[in-house]
A = this chain, B = another copy of it.
Amino acid sequence: MILITNDDGITSKGIRVLVEEMCKIGEVAVVAPNSPQSGMGHAITIGEPLRLHKNEVLFDGAEAYECSGTPADCVKISKQVALKDRIPDIVLSGINHGTNSSISVLYSGTMSAAIEASIEGVPAVGLSLCDYSANADFSHVRPWVAKIVRGVLANGLPKHLTLNVNFPKISDEPIKGIKVCRQAHAKWEEEFEERQDPLGKSYYWMSGTFRNFDKGTDNDEWAIENNYVSVVPVQYDLTAYHAISVLEEWGME
């Protein structure tokens, strides 16, 4: 069984495309947020209850639930409540409207849902299209989604790993292929625009510009810019092993 979630919400186009493609491969269940959850990272709901409603009209041929929580909550609640302890063969998250390459993996609810599944030991893939538009054209990615999912089902993933898959926006050129790569060294540089509300009090709109510092050709930003599908294996052990000995030399015992 293929469990599908996302962070754009259960009504988005991207999850619909993913469900359609996966219904060709196997049994599909959907547990996705009932509202947009972009930028939720690995947030979970603490101190508030969750709602989970079965939806019988949104998808043909897939059992579907809408959840009031975050993407990570969706994966957590799916196990016991929606799937009643049936273990999925794979968890897919997406297809996200907008990139989750390089540093965006940290902010992405889409990727955190996939990582949450990998904590449970279930193979998981986060899928994103580098096009933020609600009506983005996903037609060129359909065969690549199927190819990657079939690859994971056939080969298995090393335990507790997730794939971060990003597709280039549709263009005149066909996608060149798949590049397995590393997370690029990049960041978002924020700007805050100050405005006044009708009572004269300030509020701030955050916007960001993407800065890519990476000159390499083995990273996800390079792959996408060169019209490849980027595939980054992602782990949730954040330990910087190379720094342990550096810190030990401080003699802080």
Contacts and interface: CB of A to CB of B under 8 A. Distances in A.
A41 B39 contact: no
A130 to B, nearest CB: 17
A179 B250 CA distance: 12
Number of copies: 2
B247 A183 contact: no
Given A44-B41, A158-B240, A206 B73 contact: yes
A72 B51 CA distance: 26
B107 A44 contact: yes
A227 to B, nearest CB: 13
A69 to B, nearest CB: 8
A200 interface: no
A244 interface: yes
A181 interface: yes
Interface in A12-65: 36, 38-47, 49-52
Contacts of A210: none
Contacts of A120: 187
Interface band, chain A: 35 or more
Contact of A204 (B36, B51, B182, B195): B51
B41 A183 contact: no
A170 interface: no
Interface stretch (A86-94, A134-142, A229-237): A229-237
Given A77-B192, A192-B80, A239 B234 contact: yes
A70 B37 CA distance: 14
A233 B243 contact: yes
Nearest to A176: B253
Contact of A106 (B42, B179, B181, B241): B42
B182 A239 contact: yes
26 contacts: A39-B45, A40-B43, A41-B42, A42-B106, A42-B107, A49-B203, A49-B205, A50-B203, A51-B201, A52-B204, A80-B191, A80-B192, A81-B192, A106-B112, A148-B252, A151-B250, A158-B240, A158-B246, A161-B240, A182-B244, A183-B237, A183-B238, A232-B238, A234-B238, A234-B239, A235-B238
